[in-house]
Amino acid sequence: MKNKLWERLKAEYRIFVERYSKKARIVGIATSIFVAMVWVFFSPWIGGMDLIRRSITASEGQDTVIFTVPTPVAKVAAIRVSGEVSMSWADTLEHAMQSDDYSLIIVIINSGGGGIAESMATKHRFDILQKLYDTPIAVYSESGMFSGAYMVAMSSKFVGVSPGASTGSIGVLAIHEDDSELFRQAGVKFTVIKSGKNKAIFLPMNTLTQQQLVLLQNDIMYMYHQFVNLIIDARGNKIQTHLHLGNKAYIDSLYILADGRTYPSQPAAEYGLIDTSCYFDEFTQAVYNFYGIDTTVYIEMGKKELDVFGRTVDD
């Protein structure tokens, strides 16, 4: 009696397991498909997907469902800034960073430079924005970036310039226009009431004294050293590697390079002042390799979607 009862219980248990394990497999497969579809259609950062493949393999009598997970697409934006360096450049960069979840932003700079204070402030804000939005930038110039514009480029870890363009002009200048003789000949006299002999030093009716020239030169050199130190902080290791010099020797050489001259892009790359001399399509690929970006959607802000050659992509 006990044996018959035991055999019946075992038979009922096998029926139960077979029935519900089959249902469990069906539910598991359906759930996996549902999750995959949600992943594809409700994740805006995913562009394109591989076809879902279902492979049935025998594994201890159970089916195994294998899905190819959709590959995330890195979105890269490009913005253009030009003219005299201004804080509006940082506003443009911040707008791009706020507008979407970009993996990288390429800043195309074509500029002769700008004031030392404005250039330093813009470079500083570029640094802050990259940390705030956790989005790196790369800098490229098509027609040239000089002086303060080159300073702003130091906020990027990867800088390129077109083969037909130049960069450099590292330095600081100030101009005092001496119109005192012109005013004298015109019979114009000025009375300047000031608190000290060096107040209003830049007024054009003044002729600078030798002491005032020294004072202004000291101011210029102080700001110049700030400029060079920014380059050392940003590219010191790269410049040292390219020049094959020790610490002190490469800094001395950098000061020689930073005498105000401009450099065609290829020599600038050889000295380590920039990373590469290349055309824009080559630059984008170099940037992707540098940052480890595989698949991209390239968008130039303010325009329709473009390919890496700057051509409009047909809808």
Domain boundaries, the chain: 1-71, 74-174+203-300
Return mean pLDDT, the chain: 80
Burial (0-12, 13-18, 19+ Cβ within 10 Å), 167:
buried
Tell me the mean pLDDT in the region 105-133: 96
Please give the share of the chain, as a percent, with pLDDT higher than 70: 71
Dihedral sign from CA coordinates of 227, 228, 233, 237: positive
Kindly report the CATH number that applies to the domain delimited by 74-174+203-300.
3.90.226.10
Distance CA(111)–CA(258), nearest Å, equals 18
Those residues with Cβ within 8 angstroms of residue 278's Cβ, 6 or more apart along the chain or in another chain:
160, 162, 163, 286
Q: Give the H/E segment covering residue 190.
A: none
**Residue 315 in this model has a pLDDT that exceeds 70:** no
**Residue 3 in this model has a pLDDT that exceeds 60:** no
Tell me the mean pLDDT in the region 48-53: 33
Q: Write down the pLDDT at residue 19.
A: 59
**Residue 96 in this model has a pLDDT that exceeds 70:** yes
Q: Write down the pLDDT at residue 93.
A: 95
Per mean pLDDT, which of 153-162, 251-260, 288-297 is the most reliable?
153-162
Q: What tokens appear for 53 in the block? A: 């493949």
299 with 78: CB under 8 angstroms?
yes
Can you name the residues that pair with 305 across neighbouring β-strands?
299
Those residues with Cβ within 8 angstroms of residue 121's Cβ, 6 or more apart along the chain or in another chain:
87
